[in-house]
Amino acid sequence: MALGSNQPSAVGGPADTLLHAIELLKQKGCDIQAVSRLFANPAFPLGSGPDYVNAVVGFQTDRTAAEILEVLHDIEATLGRERDVRWGARSVDLDLVAVGSVVCPDAQTQNHWRMLPLNDQMSQTPDELILPHPRLQDRAFVLIPMAEIAPDWLHPTLGKTVLQMLNDLSQQDKDDVRPIE
């Protein structure tokens, strides 16, 4: 799961919000296996808001992907998330980026959303859960923290590891993601 925040919540600033979201995940019965460091990176599109704080968490649960997504949405609501602007500033964003080697709902749909041009990605939202997250391979702010906890995870439709996908990104994209000390 990828976490992001660039607005304060009732529990504090973005970093505090992400740490609290992880605690809420534990309280909801998810067995946390690994947590990356926190990273800062510019909002997308560039100039659209304050920098984000991001992290990635690996956990185990007996829930289905749809049930996990419901838990994540409940945590977002608890922390004040409002879904009014696509890719806008937010108190918290919890994205289910992958569940093992699950492809959901199917490879054709996952590939469709993965190959969607950027302009269409900015205006269209799938009406069902897509796994792996269709833009996972494009996002240094997800891949860098993911590389800390699951560098060898293999993308089931691309056939590339996290480290390979990260190496495919531009140096500028990677340099924009900075660890928070």
Q: What is the pLDDT of residue 140?
A: 97
Q: 29-60 pLDDT, tens per residue?
A: 999 999 999 999 998 777 778 999 999 999 99
**Residue 144, CB-side half-sphere exposure with 13 Å CA sphere:** 23
Residue listed under structure tokens 């897509």? 130
Across residues 109-137, what is the average pLDDT? 90
Instruction: Give the closest residue to 151 by CA, choosing from 163, 140, 160.
Output: 163
Q: What is the pLDDT of residue 124?
A: 84
Q: What is the pLDDT of residue 8?
A: 93
Domain CATH code at residue 173: 3.30.70.560
Contacts of 33 (CB under 8 A, 6+ apart): 58, 59, 60, 149
Q: 96-106 pLDDT, tens per residue?
A: 999 999 999 99
Across residues 122-139, what is the average pLDDT? 91
Q: How many domains does the chain have?
A: 1
Across residues 54-82, what is the average pLDDT? 93
Q: Give me the domain span that covers residue 23.
A: 2-179
